[in-house]
């Protein structure tokens, strides 16, 4: 993929471990770029196992949630597995309020996610 601006992607065996560059995922241009970089992982790079590590994320808007939902749908369509990890209590509450904790597979740590992928 072209050098990403919003994501850090590390390959570990067959698993792509993704971290977010932005601590606050709010800006609409950043969200658009972040979404495209995520989509490229599965649509261009054909990644099938993805860990999204949120340890750097302090805040995200509903627009960012919308992009993650679109990514989840695309991943499901291409047969890719995706697990979210290292979510702070505040961010986890955002997922819980919107019932997205039931849509996404969430693990406490990256190691927990790597163990089941």
78 binds another protein (CB under 8 A): no
Strand partners of residue 25: 60
**Do residues 69 and 103 touch, judged by C-beta distance below 8 A?**
yes
* In the complex, minimum distance from the CB of residue 44 to another protein, in angstroms, rounded to a whole number: 21
79 binds another protein (CB under 8 A): no
In the complex with another protein, the residue whose CB is nearer, 15 or 25, is 25
In the 3-class helix/strand/coil scheme, how is 8-57 assigned residue by residue? EEEEECCEEEEEECCCEECCHHHHHHHHHHHHHHHHCCCCCEEEEECCCC
Contacts with another protein: how many residues (CB under 8 A)? 24
Per the structure block, which two tokens stand in for 91?
């961010």
The DSSP call for residue 106 is E
What is the per-residue binding string for another protein in 20-59, x denoting contact by CB under 8 A?
------xxx------------------------------x
72 binds another protein (CB under 8 A): yes
* In the complex, minimum distance from the CB of residue 34 to another protein, in angstroms, rounded to a whole number: 14
Strand partners of residue 50: 16, 82
- Provide the binding-site residues for another protein, judged by CB under 8 A: 26-28, 59, 61-63, 65-67, 69-70, 72-73, 90, 93-94, 96-100, 102-103
């Amino acid at each position: 993929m072209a050098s990403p601006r919003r994501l850090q992607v590390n390959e570990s065996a067959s698993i792509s471990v993704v971290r977010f560059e932005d601590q606050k995922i709010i800006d609409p241009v950043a969200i658009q770029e972040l979404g495209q970089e995520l989509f490229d992982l599965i649509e261009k790079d054909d990644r099938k196992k993805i860990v999204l590590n949120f340890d750097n994320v302090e805040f995200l808007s509903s627009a960012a949630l919308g992009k993650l939902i679109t990514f989840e749908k695309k991943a499901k369509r291409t047969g890719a597995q995706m697990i979210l990890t290292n979510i702070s209590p505040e961010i986890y509450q955002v997922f819980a309020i919107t019932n997205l904790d039931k849509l996404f597979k969430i693990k406490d740590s990256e190691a927990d996610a790597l163990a089941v992928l």
